[in-house]
Structure 1
Amino acid sequence: MIQVIQAQNVGLAYLEERFDLRLAENEIFFTEWLDKLPEITVLEKQSLDKVKFHFLRLVKHPPLSEETVKLVVLSPLLSLAGFYDEPFFIRSEQSIEISAEDKGEIVRGRIDVLVIQEQLWLLVIEAKKPSFSLLETIPQALTYMLANPHPEKPVFGLVTNGSHFIFLKLAKENIVKYAMSDEFTLLKRENELYKVLSILKNLSEILS
């Protein structure tokens, strides 16, 4: 009998056991969030300052939904990074199903935002409401990244609850490995959306 598991109920231990997923120990594995990041223009900084202001203003009037996070924070970031333009396409609420070989289990879920190029999965984005911990979101995003129909290609991820952001990378070498960036937050005086956008722009340039 096949057991169906919802992606939001999956943890890292499950992924490591069922899919032989391993955390990359070599920092060279994921340098795309660190090296040769493009500059952010003055106009882009002004736009990001507005995004931060609008989000923090909304936080004062809870509850905030995942849809609000996508509308107020995520959509402007994707637009500024060029992911609404050629050669990229945005898909939302993309259903996935992935099975653990010989385990009699299927994991199902829906990707919040998927950026593709000619059917190649490039960027998986999982957005949660502000009260949600990113530590709980990371396994869900990695599950979706494991469902990439082109496992020979690396795929990137972004998890956010509107105020915090973590980038992910998953790639198959001898085994499937993943790595995480530092966490960026809007709860600092400095607007760390500048760095988030710079990383997104870097991914846009690399992936195009």
Structure 2
Amino acid sequence: MTTSIAITEGITTLRQVEEKLGLTLSGDSQFFTEWMADLPALSEAEQARLEQVRQNYLYQISDGILLEETVKRVVLSPLLELAGFYQSPYRFKTEVSVEIAAQGDNEEILRGRIDVLVLQNRLWIVLIESKKTTFDLELAIPQTLAYMAVHPKPEQSLYGMITNGSSYLFVKTLGKQYGISDLFATRSQYLNNLSGVLKILKHLGTIITKS
């Protein structure tokens, strides 16, 4: 744990990820297909539950601010439950939070925190907690890759999901390469929506328990 804390505190950009950790963005279109291929179908009940999650999110964010605990309860927790991650054979562990900051409008400094859950020691669920739900997911990619880089078996495919409750990105590392998915959104009813997020989570869950 001490090693991962030291690494994440020193990594804030993708350039640092590449220079300090030796990771490079894969140029192979087949490197990270797990977020696109062989995804499971969802039942009507699961689709209905996701639509309720989406409606709950839209209602809560109508005031313009979605607080940290609300993100967890309204969006993230239902997703993890629907993915089956609260049941056998899955096990979570919690990493120490990392502070993040970025310059916002009018030179305002936005401050937030990254909370990390690790599933089966191979899937990182990274939640950006901030009073600004639009906190850019790109800011959490370097720290997520840094957590993954200290895995004792880097020859395994490792995965991560980064979310602020509003948007989602998936990442993969294998050896010294990494890949990043397209962006998904809670608000979307059609392409790259919550259904896609749940399908990917289920697929990744199957991969890490069978390999």
**TM-score w.r.t. structure 1 length?**
0.81
Aligned partner of 1:182 in structure 2 is 182
User: CA 1:110–1:64 in structure 2 vs 1: closer, same or farther (change >3 Å)?
Assistant: closer
Given that 1:8 and 1:137 are in contact with CA atoms closer than 8 Å, whether structure 2 keeps it comes out as: no
Shift of 1:132: 0.7
Equivalent residues in 2 for 1:46-57, closer than 5 Å: 46-57=48-59
d(CA) in 1 for partners of 2:7, 2:181: 27
CA drift at 1:82: 1.3
SS in 2 for 1:199: helix
Matched residue, 1:103? none
Aligned to 2:80: 78
- What does the per-residue CA deviation read over 1:156-205, in whole Å, with 9 as the maximum and x for residues that have no partner? 00001111111110110xxx110011111133332710111011111112
Contact between 2:115 and 2:127, CA under 8 Å: does it hold in 1? no
In structure 2, stretches of 5+ residues that fail to align are 1-5, 99-112
Give the Cα–Cα distance (whole angstroms) in 2 for the partners of residues 163 and 96 of structure 1: 20
Aligned pair partner of 1:39 in 38, 41, 65: 41
Gaps of at least 5 residues in structure 1 are: 98-108
Residues 102-141 of structure 1: pairs in structure 2 closer than 5 A = 111-116=115-120, 121-128=121-128, 129=130, 130-141=133-144
Deviations 1:16-52 (A, max 9, x none): 1111110011121111111111001100001101111
1:45/1:150 CA distance change after superposition, 3 Å: same
Q: Is the 8 A contact 2:114 2:140 kept in 1?
A: no
Report the CA distance shift for 1:18/1:8 in structure 2 as closer, same or farther (over 3 A). closer
Residue identity (%): 37
Moved over 3 A (4+): 4-9
- 2:125 and 2:161 in contact (8 A); partners too: yes
Question: What is the rounded CA distance, in whole Å, between the counterparts of 1:156 and 1:199 in structure 2?
Answer: 11
Q: Give the direction of change, closer, same or farther, for the CA distance of 1:144–1:67 in structure 2 (3 Å limit).
A: farther
Deviation at 1:81, TM superposition (A): 0.9
TM-score, normalized by length of structure 2?
0.80
Aligned-partner Cα distance in 2 for 1:188–1:110: 24
Q: Residue 7 of structure 1: CA displacement? A: 3.5
CA contact (8 A) 1:7 1:143 kept: no
CA distance in 2, matches of 1:138, 1:5: 13
Superposition pairs for residues 1-80 of structure 1, below 5 Å? 7=9, 10-80=12-82
SS class of match (2:31): helix
SS at match of 1:197: helix
The question of whether the paired residues in 2 share the 8 Å contact of 1:157 and 1:168 is answered with: yes
Cα deviation for residue 5 of structure 1 reads: 6.7
Q: Secondary structure at the match of 1:167?
A: strand
Q: Distance in 2 between matches of 1:201 and 1:6?
A: 27
Q: Which has the higher strand share?
A: 1
Q: 1:9 to 1:132 in 2, by over 3 A?
A: farther
Contact 2:96 2:116 survives alignment (8 Å): no
Deviations 1:47-84 (A, max 9, x none): 10111111111112343233322221111111111111
Judge conservation of contact 1:66–1:127 (CA < 8 Å) in 2: no
User: 1:7 and 1:44, CA in 2 relative to 1: closer, same or farther beyond 3 A?
Assistant: farther
Deviation at 1:147, TM superposition (A): 2.1
Cα–Cα, structure 1 residues 59 and 27, in superposed 2: closer, same or farther, change >3 Å? same
